[in-house]
Structure 1
Amino acid sequence: MEITVRTSLGPGRLVVAEAEVPVAVLWLGHGAGGGIGAADLAAIAARLPGQGVTVARYEQPWRVAGKRVASRPEQLDTAWRETAPAVHELAGDLPLFTGGRSAGARVACRTAADTGSAGVVCLAFPLHPPGRPESSRRDELLTPTVPVLVVQGDRDTFGGAELVATEAADRPNIRVVPVPGADHGMKTLKSSALDAHDVAGLVTSAVTHFIRDVVAP
């Protein structure tokens, strides 16, 4: 199911994979360099409905318009906030989880309080630009007061799983799940013990267990 949502920045699009008997809704945004077809987002949309989680992947207006360069962070946040009522209508009384990959994870963290998020799912959170650890986005990661899951490759040049775990060590609401051998795109080397299928299984399992833990602790 596709839902076009009008925003002040143009139309965005929700692509929804519905669970037959949903217990929660997960709303995910994409990164600045790709769309909702990213491997981890696609795996979640394919597998989580079978676990009782309806998945709504959101295409930002800049992406729907066919632009190649992402909008500024404040514009991403605006479109996300303006889409929230449509997502809440979709969710009804069900718990709504927000999240995304890379830039989409940053948006979800910054807006968690505004969107009524029950928990935030961060896939490949870009803790800092590659090679610039001094430009940390730690404050964004620590913004949500609700439970946060970070699924992070240990070869991520935007900040590996170990660094993310260290930066969030004093926040008990943040859970970090490392993906061995994975880079920012959740891709592993041919010599890695995990292949693409294994990574998809690890990511979807981590997200499923996180949502279940929050919904029914």
Structure 2
Amino acid sequence: MQVLVPTPLGDARITRFPAVGACRAALLASHGAGGGVEAPDLQALAADLPKDGIEVALVEQPWRVAGKRLVPRPYALDTGWRAVMEWWAANAGSDGIPVIVGGRSAGARVACRTGAETGAHGVLALSFPLHPPGKPEKSRIAELLGSGLPTLVVVGAMDPFGAPSEYPELPPTHRLVGLPAGDHGFSVRKTQTPVIDDITRAVGAWIDSIL
């Protein structure tokens, strides 16, 4: 089920995957700068989590819905996301159902920056871009540490935006899952075992731990 949500930057689009049976929580997740909600990790979560009572809502930011190629500045991404969260609380959320926010890459950054203020229960950061490729001195760790919420970070071993070994020790509120393979999009070499199932298992177990 899809719905267009008006924001100050144009319409965002939510694709909902309802929970099977009683709904225990909802995960709202957005895409990165280089792709959309068709990303394999997002689609795998949308296929897997509803079976465990967790609704998944994949959110396409307004710039993506409008067919633009240039990603807006962070404040604009945050503005669109806040509007989506306001709409969700007024039209889709249920009292007492925890909402987890997240996404991949740029979507993870947005969730870290805005999660606490929008009343989220936790943050899911898939392929958090710790730094631009080849520029580890330009760290974005402050965004991740500043989420103010239970936060799960899932990173592939070959991610040029920051491999698991590059992360500092995280606070008790944060958990880092370093996958044995996978680039920024969690693609693996032909000789390696796919990691998508590892992602869905890790996310499902983490959600259970914070509910």
Distance in 2, Cα, partners of 1:129 & 1:57: 25
Residue number in structure 2 paired with 1:77: 78
Residue 210 of structure 2 corresponds to which residue in structure 1? 214
1:91 is matched with: 93
Q: What's the counterpart of residue 147 of structure 1?
A: 150
Give 3-state SS (helix, strand or coil) of 1:91's partner.
coil
CA RMSD of aligned residues (A): 0.9
- Kindly indicate whether residue 106 of structure 2 is the aligned counterpart of residue 103 of structure 1: yes
* Equivalence for 2:14: 14
Q: Which runs of 5+ in 1 are unaligned?
A: none
| TM-aligned CA deviation for residue 109 of structure 1 | 0.1
Q: State how far apart, in whole Å, the 1-side matches of 2:140 and 2:206 are.
A: 23
Tell me, in whole angstroms, the C-alpha distance in 2 between the residues paired with 1:51 and 1:91: 18
CA deviation string 1:4-43 (max 9, x = no partner): 1001100001100000221000000100000000000000
> CA–CA distance in 2 between the matches of 1:157 and 1:99?
20
Q: 1:23 corresponds to which residue?
A: 24
Asked if residue 59 in structure 1 is aligned to residue 55 in structure 2, the reply is: no
Whole-Å Cα distance in 2 between the matches of residues 14 and 117 of structure 1?
17
Q: For residue 150 of structure 1, give the secondary structure of its aligned residue in structure 2.
A: strand
Distance 1:87 1:107 in 2: 16
Q: Say if 1:170 and 1:153 are closer, same or farther in 2 by CA, change over 3 A.
A: closer
The size of the alignment, in residue pairs, is 208
Q: Letter of the aligned partner of 1:177 in structure 2?
A: V
How far did residue 83 of structure 1 move?
Answer: 1.1
Q: Is the 8 A contact 1:24 1:91 kept in 2?
A: no
Shift of residue 175, structure 1, vs aligned partner: 0.3
Q: Quote the Cα distance in structure 2 between the aligned partners of 1:70 and 1:2.
A: 22
Report Cα offsets for 1:146-177 as digits up to 9, x if no partner.
1100010011000001212xx2x141111011
User: Residue type of the partner of 2:108?
Assistant: A
- Mapped partners of 1:66, 1:124: distance in 2: 23
After TM superposition, the score normalised by the length of structure 1 is 0.93
Shift of 1:112: 1.2
Q: What is the percentage of aligned positions where both structures have the same residue?
A: 48
Distance, in Å, in 2 between the alignment partners of 1:180 and 1:157 is: 14
Identify which of 116, 135, 139 aligns with 1:136.
139
CA distance in 1 between counterparts of 2:166 and 2:122 reads: 22
Structure 2: runs of 5 or more not aligned:
none
Q: Per-residue displacement from partner, 1:59-101 (whole Å, max 9, x unpaired)?
A: 0000000011111111000000111122223221200000000
AA of the residue aligned to 1:99: G
Counterparts of 2:115 and 2:180, CA distance in 1: 28
- Aligned to 1:211, the other structure's residue is in SS state helix
| Secondary structure in 1 matching 2:92 | helix
